[in-house]
Amino acid sequence: MNARLSDYGYDLPAELIAQRPLPRRDESRMMVLRRDAQRIEHRHFTELKTLLNSGDLLILNDTRVLPARKFSDDGAIEFLFTERLGPARWKCLVKPGRKMRLGATAKIDNAVLRVEEISPEGERVVSLNEDVDLYARGSMPLPPYIGRESDTEDERRYQTIFAAAAGALAAPTAGLHFTQEILGEIAHAFVTLHVGTGTFLPVRSENISAHRMPPEKFSISPQAAEKIDKAKRIVAVGTTTVRVLESARRENGSLIAQSGSTDLFIYPPYQFRHVDLLFTNFHLPRSTLLMLVCAFAGRDFVLGAYREAIRERYRFYSYGDCMLIL
């Protein structure tokens, strides 16, 4: 059992962090990991269908990213609005935090915002002097490793083509590769998990079993539950989809339609019960997402594959290349 945070580190040259998407969604390279043979292959995403069997079912997360990033009217403070609590009352993250201590104010969209509460994790509860829709004219909340402001291209490309239910603070990035043409060739179904700050919360304890994931809301429709139950093999697209499938309630062995929340943290030696194949991007070192992938395919095999991806100059993270684990 690899329960130490330091077991999940690796060194990545900064130039391999994709700062922009490729011109076409489906142009990405795809590393294939064959668990049974412990073999790595270098393919392209457009070959995905040829690696799947009849009876395989892709499960994708159809959450829609909220335009949750905004700046104060003077540009001095960056806000990420994580939840609307009620009229003129929101939860948010701020940078720099020292400028928004308890009772501090800022102007945003000509409204006065005031910090009412600060959680131990640094999240603020704020009130406004008028009820403003802070998602109006907001921008895509690109992750910090993309070292630029989001633009009109990101409004389209940091969103899957099948995004439906608004509620995420980050894209389910494994889904960004898919086009309508490729989806049309492969049997698939959608579930929803609204990606929150918890998915990207840093693991701060060297003993990873002490880490706790904040709950994230998910739902499974009756149509999706029926398709999933009939599938021969389940191909989870992304770590968020894995967490939905592994968390969902079943009755008499059958998946049921449901809405709920999950705080499931998957790390070795977790035993997967409902996911057979995993399609995913490359993830940050020491992240809960990398730990989930290591639980699925084995830490040594996965980190060896990451080293090979670095040697082969794969593109990493949200706008980067992908991996299929068979």
Q: How far apart are CA 261 and CA 264, in angstroms?
A: 9
Q: What is the pLDDT of residues 86-142, one digit of tens each?
A: 999 999 999 999 999 999 999 999 999 999 999 988 899 999 999 999 999 899 999
**How many CB atoms within 10 Å of residue 231?**
16
Q: Which residues of the chain have pLDDT under 70?
A: 1, 199-200
Q: How far apart are CA 99 and CA 124, in angstroms?
A: 12
> Residue 305 CA to chain centroid, in angstroms?
21
pLDDT at res. 282:
98
Question: 52-69 in b/e burial notation, b at 16+ Cβ within 10 A?
Answer: beeebbbbbbbbbbbbbb
Residue type, 35: R
pLDDT at res. 1:
64
Relative to beta strand 56-61, strand 233-237 is parallel
Contact predicate 56/235, CB 8 Å: yes
pLDDT at res. 121:
81
Give alpha helix (H) positions in 110-178.
152-157
Decide: residue 12, CB within 10 A, 0-12 exposed, 13-18 middle, 19+ buried.
middle
Give this prediction's pTM.
0.94
* 322: CB partners within 8 A, 6+ apart: 28, 29, 30, 31, 45, 174, 177, 279, 280, 281, 282
Q: How far apart are CA 291 and CA 208, in angstroms?
A: 9
Backbone angles phi, psi at 305, to 5 degrees: -65, -40
pLDDT at res. 275:
98
